[in-house]
Amino acid sequence: MSDTPTRLIDVRQHVLSKNDRLAQALRQRFDQAGVRVINLLSSPGAGKTRLLEETLRRLGQRYRVAALVGDLATDNDARRLARSGAAVRQIETGGLCHLEADLVTRHLEGWGLASFDFLFIENVGNLVCPTSYDLGEHARVVLMAVTEGEDKPLKYPGTFRWADLVLISKLDMAEAAEFDAAAARASITSVHPDATIIATSARTGAGLDEWLAWLEMRGTRHEVP
């Protein structure tokens, strides 16, 4: 009988163990610098970049904000986010379906973390791979667009179970998508009974004040004069 499955399990455990050590080191760096780090996860097309652009623009009026943007290829999202005035860096994963602590560490080189109050990590669009990889973040936020169907959490329970916050995005499209808000919330709470849920629209601004208030409660040091 082949021992290939066993070897693959061993390799995966080694990779995750290494990642956890690096993530813990990152978290210590973030804590020492006083920057709060938010890891944003979603499937492709959930509106993560647009919501983050608006978040950086609004939050940047009072706090010092920055973003690391993970993508398989291109720096399109980074250039788009830079319009907010925030410090932004792109991480091109070269086909890797998630970010890892090592990638984050390398792309922080030369950045003075103490000069930021909030650092957002926009993970690669995927609801499977990123779940297993700690990036040293203080909070993990999962987006779920109204266009994706109300049962998304039931299909990807691991991702939603460990979310500190679930953002329902693209609320302005809810009527056209025939979105059932009650069913969506029931799906979320079935896998995460204590989930905090905020419905948002980056286009209309709905829910953004509540989202920003949630962020500010995570703890910061400075406000921009």
**What's the DSSP call for residue 98?**
S
Of 56, 20, 49, give the one whose Cα is nearest residue 135.
20
Q: What tens digit of pLDDT does each residue of 12-25 get?
A: 565 678 999 999 99
Residue 222 reports pLDDT greater than 70: no
Residue 151 CB partners (closer than 8 Å, separation 6+): 183, 187
Of 174, 220, 213, give the one whose Cα is nearest residue 55.
213
Cα angle for residues 113, 118, 124 (degrees, 5° grid)? 95
Count how many residues are written for the chain. 225
Reported as a pLDDT band with limits 50, 70 and 90, residue 221 is low
- The rounded percent of the chain whose pLDDT value lies above 90 is 76
Question: In the prediction, which pLDDT does 218 show?
Answer: 81
Q: Which domains does the chain possess? A: 4-217 (3.40.50.300)
pTM: 0.89
Question: In the prediction, which pLDDT does 76 show?
Answer: 82
| 28 vs 74: which has the higher pLDDT | 28
